[in-house]
Amino acid sequence: MLLRRLWLVLVPISLASQQATLPSRETLLYNIEWRLFNAGKAKIQWIQEPRDGYQVNLHLESTGFVSKLFKVDDDYSGNLNAGLCSESLQMTTHEGNRERETRITFDAAAKHASYLERDRLKNSVVSQHEIDIPSCVHDVVGGFFFLRTLNLEPGQSATVPVSDGKKSVMAKVEAQAKEDVKTPAGTFHTIRYEAYLFDNVLYRRSAHLNLWLTDDRRRLPVEIRVRMTFTIGTITLLLEKQE
């Protein structure tokens, strides 16, 4: 779950005016590091659909020593409209001894979201919620792609509507600095961003979420880092390959 929760001065953002051209199809492969260990792999797929929308898929799996301590095998699939607003999500998670299935529906017209989480082993409902949302809201992973369409320079920030189906918030995203980042895919000139989703914003847990996007037209997410308390440590996704 920690990996999955892995995905602005304030500037008013017009969702329509800030749209940029994202690739029609893209696959990003990441190495996951935790406490100096190679902890796992992440695969993100971005697909433009014929119906004038998008699908984003995320697969997370633990590997090696970490997998023996706590096995993770998660799949996440989200559908977005042409404006990158979330329409629906489905998550299937296998984390340790727990297996869950979660479905979230975002109804833009009714400004309403429905959340249903089931225990796959017990075939029982774990959690069910219904909340109010704005007419356009982003899920966490889809929100990473929306961030790529914003032209924020260091020192600028924006607020973005984000929801996990249980809570809806206006989250601040801040462009902080230009930095060079080295990953298995190469060395990149980037802009570092911080997304304020933790510390009782969307999630209760105390943590910092940073993303490094290439400082070019691709706006490629080459590093994603979640820094938590000392007892948990830092989880880092480093780009290994782009397809």
pLDDT per residue over 114-139, tens digit each? 999 999 999 999 999 999 999 999 99
Q: Are 40 and 238 in contact (CB under 8 A)?
A: no
Give the C-alpha separation, 84 to 78, whole Å: 11
Contacts of 188 (CB under 8 A, 6+ apart): 180, 181, 182, 212, 214, 220, 222
Number of residues that this document lists for the chain = 243
CA angle centred on 53, ends 47 and 54, rounded to 5°:
30
Residue 1 within a domain:
no
Q: Which residue has the tokens 């356009």?
A: 136
In a domain, 3, yes or no: no
Q: Cα–Cα distance between 57 and 112 in angstroms, integer?
A: 23
Q: Could you tell me the pLDDT band of residue 74, with boundaries at 50, 70 and 90?
A: very high
Predicted pLDDT at 36: 80
- Write the CATH number for 119: 2.50.20
State mean pLDDT over 40-69: 93
In this structure, the dihedral spanned by the alpha carbons of residues 178, 182, 186 and 189, taken in order and rounded to 10 degrees, is 10
pLDDT at 20: 52
CB 207 within 8 A of CB 199: yes
Which of 3-12, 15-24, 121-130, 205-214 is predicted with the least confidence, judged by mean pLDDT?
3-12
- State yes or no: pLDDT of 32 exceeds 90: yes
Question: Quick check: 144 pLDDT over 50?
Answer: yes
pLDDT score of 142 more than 70: yes
Hey, which residues does 76 pair with through a beta bridge? 58, 91
Alpha carbon separation from 128 to 1, 32, 55, 118, 200 (Å, rounded): 18, 31, 24, 9, 20
User: Which residue in the block uniquely carries the two structure tokens 């938590």?
Assistant: 228
Question: Does the residue 123 lie in any domain?
Answer: yes
Look up the pTM and report it: 0.88
Q: Is residue 128 part of a domain?
A: yes
Query: Is residue 2 domain-resident?
Result: no
Question: What's the rounded Cα separation, in Å, for the pair 229 and 188?
Answer: 28
Question: Would you state the pLDDT for residue 4?
Answer: 46
> How would residue 19 be classed by pLDDT, with cut points 50, 70 and 90?
very low
Containing structural domain, residue 233: 10-242
**35 pLDDT band (50/70/90 cuts)?**
confident
Region 11-32 average pLDDT: 68
Taking the C-alpha atoms of residue 196 and residue 170, their distance in angstroms, rounded to an integer, is 10
Domain count within the chain: 1
Return the pLDDT at 14. Answer: 34
Any domain includes 4: no
Judge whether 97 lies within some domain: yes
Mean pLDDT score, 96-122 = 97
Find tokens 């014929």 and name the residue.
50
pLDDT tops 60 at residue 15: no
DSSP 118: E
Q: Specify whether the CB–CB gap between 86 and 114 falls below 8 A.
A: no
Q: Are strands 124-132 and 112-119 parallel, antiparallel or unpaired?
A: antiparallel
Asked whether residue 5 is assigned to any structural domain, the reply reads no
Residue 43's nearest CA partner among 53, 32, 64, 58 is 58
- Region 215-231: what's the mean pLDDT? 92
The two beta strands, 112-119 and 25-34, are unpaired
